[in-house]
A and B are shown apart, each in its own frame.
Chain A
Amino acid sequence: DGYVGLPRTFLWNPNFNEVIDTSDYGGEGPFAIGFSNASQGDGWLGTFYHSVQYGVSQNLDKIDRFIVTDANGDPTKQISDIQDLLEQDIDLLLVNPATADALDPILGRTMRRGVPVVTVARRVESDDSFVSFVTASDTALARMSATWMAEILDGKGRIVLLPGLAGASPAEMRLQAAKEVFAQFPGIEIVDTQYTGWSPANGRQIMAAIIQREGVGNIDGVWADSGLQGSGSVEAFMGAGVTGTDIPPHTGGDLNGMYQLAHENGFPFAGIDYTPSIGAAAVNLAVDVLEGTPVPQRLDVNFQVVISPGHETRSISADVLLPDYVAMDQPGELIMGSGIPNYDPNSFSVDLPN
């Protein structure tokens, strides 16, 4: 079920996506892969890491060493981590950069050392600092959710933008994409834009304050780039006594809790997961690189557009309807789109190389 066609970004992206010849990296397995993770600081990152592990467990025959470091969000520590990984003669470096720019120098050096780099979730600036970049396309995701928001409001209304972690490239790209879209609709007035650090807590506190300022009735929509803070926003409205369908339209996927809130209250909602499954996809691509198979310089992973019943718009139709997607029996903290069969973060475990 859901959308199974070619990735939309691949279809729509006007730029050519060149295919990288990886024959110089090609060799005989089994391989040693180093994974430098930016952090496991929030729910999404946790599931993403599980997806990476899942990917590795699917390639046990080809991967015999898999070394992980975690920079808990500190780019300077991540640089040291990468140096430590390189010292352990890894064949390939898989990296989820803490910030786009800061890792450019060290990744450039890694490539020049002859160790291929695959970046996932976030890319780095210069093209010669990595072989391939695996993403679920922040741009597409944000453009679609923003377009939906503008259209569900018939192109006019006062809306609030709740981007994620200030400075994190996904958050910035999504915000920029969303703004592009809203710029197309002169009737849409952006009342306020506040970063939330992808934290339900901040989402709620900030939204509560904004509601105080604007007054309950005067906010027509909330565009959040993820359900993590989106759920916080919905909570804020409920806290202010607005419930059910009175809650203005919201966007933001990822968090099962968000889907649950939308399903229970029935307000117009469009959720698009930035699927953590890119983790597994990245591992598979890494193996291709090591085997010398040509890979796209940018690999887009599909995402599903989930919309509450009866709220599809002119240009945005649902891949899945909310009731078919939400997992009411699962905890609200569950992150959707892990791509792992009957995934349960608590019990999740796969066997990995030493």
Chain B
Amino acid sequence: MKLTSVNQSLRRLQDPSLIIVILLLVIVVITGSVLSDRFGTMRNFMNVLEQAAGLGFASIGQALVVIVGGIDLSIGAVVTASTILMAAVVDLHPALMIPMIFGTLLFGTMIGFLNGYVTIRTGVHPLIVTLGTASILNGAVLIYTLQPTGSVPYWFEEFAYGRFWSVPVSGLVMLLCFVMVWVFLRYFETGRAFYAVGGSPDAAHLSGIQCNKITLIAYSASGFFAALAGAYFVSRTSVGDPRVGDPITLSSITPVILGGLILGGGKGNIFGVLLGVFLISLLSNLLNYMNVSTFIQWVIQGLIIIVAVSIYVHKGRKL
């Protein structure tokens, strides 16, 4: 077992894209610590961990879909819809807080399942399918309410702001999710099948893997984690917000790519995605410390994507 895991980790390190993201992380941390005495503190890193949770949840889902060779552009819409659903219902019946947490997660999972189902049935490119779903969801939400609405009990804020021995609860939950997904992908047949399906659907099919089942699981999971992100945002803002999800869709892709997954699927380690999430969050945190305008932040983020992805040239261009 030891030998194996050593060997595994070695192989993981051979993956150039992982080296890149780790390198970038180191650079960010070092520059930060040099430029600001407050950046390098545990307190701050704990804050970043807390702030990263939302993006983290969304990226896990995105990663799972990307591994099976798809892409999910409905994540933002699901996040939004979840916040509205949760906050609106709980506002009317505060007693339903706990059930609604599960209700929301179920809702997200169902939307994801729908995405997967349509993709399989129609053979339409997932990019289009999920774009359609997103459009429909957003439309429905915005017709229901244009402004932030609803509320949740005060104690629910603890999910976003609470600390467990100075470690943010939300951050812990995120890390837990990453670990669970990693174990799933690495130690369960179904998890390995994700890579098979993403790597070569035809071969997977002929090898007796139920590609449709795997695809459905992936998209459902994506929906689930989007809803989880939604719950996080509700507890962070205490309202349902009809726009909160908009930036998430695209920003959920960045960490996935930085983490060494490739659009087209079949490859990548979920921990790479975690590193990607940290990189993005630390970067924005650092630039806040350096009092750099968001506009520069955009430029830097874009450049990082280009650099990271084009340093690691992979075979076969895919959408």
Contacts and interface: CB of A to CB of B under 8 A. Distances in A.
Interface of A: 67-72, 74-77, 79-81, 83-85, 87-89, 99-106, 109, 166-169, 172, 195
Nearest to A37: B294
B70 interface: no
Per DSSP, chain B at the interface is: helix
B238 A75 contact: no
A87 B146 contact: no
B104 interface: no
Contacts of B157: 105
B247 A74 contact: yes
B47 A83 contact: yes
Interface centre among A80, A83, A89, by most B CB within 10 Å?
Answer: A80
Contact of B237 (A71, A76, A169): A76
A69 B291 CA distance: 7
Interface of B: 38, 41, 43-44, 47, 50-51, 54, 142, 146-148, 157, 160-161, 233, 236-239, 241-244, 246-247, 284-285, 288-289, 291, 293-294
Nearest to B285: A84
A88 B241 contact: no
19 contacts: A70-B293, A70-B294, A74-B244, A74-B246, A74-B247, A79-B51, A79-B236, A80-B288, A83-B51, A87-B43, A99-B148, A101-B237, A102-B237, A102-B241, A105-B161, A106-B236, A166-B142, A167-B146, A168-B147
B251 to A, nearest CB: 10
A202 to B, nearest CB: 14
A72 B294 contact: yes
A168 B238 CA distance: 17
Given A67-B291, A70-B294, A75-B244, A87 B38 contact: yes
B237 A167 contact: no
A167 B148 contact: yes
A80 B51 contact: yes
Contact of A88 (B161, B242, B244, B289): B289
Given A84-B47, A109-B161, A195-B146, A102 B239 contact: yes
B147 A105 contact: no
Contacts of A67: 291
Nearest to A69: B288
Given A70-B294, A104-B238, A166-B142, A87 B148 contact: no
Contact of B148 (A68, A69, A100): A100
Contacts of A89: 38
A87 B47 contact: yes
B236 A87 contact: no
Nearest to A78: B237
Nearest to B290: A67
B224 to A, nearest CB: 20
A50 to B, nearest CB: 14
Contact of A76 (B41, B244, B293): B244
A195 B146 CA distance: 10
9 shortest A-B CB distances, which residue pairs? Answer: A167-B147, A102-B237, A166-B146, A80-B51, A84-B288, A101-B239, A70-B294, A101-B148, A167-B146
A69 B294 CA distance: 7
Contacts of B284: 77, 80
Contacts of A102: 148, 237-239, 241, 244
Given A102-B237, A105-B238, A166 B147 contact: yes
A172 B146 CA distance: 10
A172 B161 CA distance: 29
A87 B238 contact: no
Interface centre among B38, B236, B237, B241, by most A CB within 10 Å?
Answer: B237
A167 B243 contact: yes
B42 to A, nearest CB: 11
Nearest to A75: B237
B198 to A, nearest CB: 30
Contacts of B41: 87
A240 to B, nearest CB: 27
A84 B241 contact: no
Given A83-B50, A99-B239, 8 more contacts: A76-B54, A80-B47, A80-B288, A99-B241, A101-B148, A102-B148, A103-B237, A167-B243
Nearest to A166: B146
B290 to A, nearest CB: 10
A83 B236 CA distance: 12
Nearest to A82: B288
Interface centre among A76, A100, A169, by most B CB within 10 Å?
Answer: A76
A346 B246 CA distance: 31
A75 B44 contact: no
B289 A84 contact: yes
Given A87-B44, A166-B146, A76 B288 contact: no
A72 B51 CA distance: 16
Nearest to A65: B291
Given A70-B293, A85-B288, A87-B44, A79 B237 contact: yes
Given A87-B44, A87-B47, A68 B147 contact: no
Nearest to A169: B147
Nearest to A195: B146
A197 B247 CA distance: 17
A101 B243 CA distance: 13
A105 B153 CA distance: 12
Contacts of A75: 148, 237, 241, 244
